[in-house]
Amino acid sequence: MAIILASASPRRQELLTQIRCNFTVVTSNVIEDNTQAVPPEKLAVIQAVAKARDVAARAGRNDVVIGADTIVVYNGQIYGKPADRTDARRMLTELSGHEHCVITGVAVVGNSQTWSDFACTKVTLRDLTDEEIEHYLATGEPMDKAGAYGIQGIGALLVANISGSYSNVVGLPLVTLAELLKKAGIKLL
């Protein structure tokens, strides 16, 4: 039995390493579509399940595959990874000074079964000046991150408040994941 992380995200790899989980990485070929007409929590779970199942189809029978999908939700809108710098600027301008939700769907696939769940963390960005947004864009950090910021990086300077799981914001809610892995017969602690 081996644990496979179906993710290209270095943050997810770091979080799994942090909890001393032995795993290998196989990236999925799933193309995300944040325009699907389903509630945001469901969208994140659907995409996490799709990523895990895509890799599970190519994995061994006894392997356990983890998939995840992170989105930001504010004012009824979904913010995924920005398309370009203009899109990142728009996201940061809209999120500035407001509380939003970071939702990560997680899926564990093993033994032809799927277990899935999501976590939701409330994050408030402080009021950002146009100059601060430009400086942050210039770091390049926003480009591969949902909502165009990374709480674990320079983006920490944008965050006024967080309520809920921190690892969820970084891309993998570890307590939620541990519960799913337990159902699949894997105890982390």
- Binding residues for ligand TTP (CB under 6 A): 7-9, 11-12, 27, 32, 51, 68-70, 72, 81, 102, 144-147, 149-152, 155, 169-171
Residues acting as catalytic residues: 69
CA distances to 1, 38, 42, 122 from 161, rounded to whole Å, are 40, 28, 25, 8
Q: How far is the CB of 104 from ligand TTP (least distance, A)?
A: 7
What is the rounded CA–CA span in Å between residue 45 and residue 116? 7
Pick the closer one to ligand TTP by CB: 81 or 184: 81
Quote the least distance from Cβ 188 to ligand TTP, whole Å.
Answer: 20
CB of 7 vs ligand TTP, minimal distance in Å: 3
* Whole-number CA gyration radius for the chain: 16
The β-bridge partners of 105 are 69, 118
Is 159 or 178 the residue whose CB approaches ligand TTP more closely?
159
CB of 44 to ligand TTP, least distance (A): 8
Q: Are 174 and 117 in contact (CB under 8 A)?
A: no
Q: 120 phi and psi, to 5 degrees? A: -130, 125
Contact 12, 172 (CB under 8 A): yes
Query: What 8-state DSSP symbol labels residue 155?
Result: G
The phi, psi pair for 52, rounded to 5°, reads: -65, -40
Place of tokens 């408040």: 161
Nearer to ligand TTP, 61 or 177 (CB): 177
12 vs 110, beta carbon nearer ligand TTP = 12
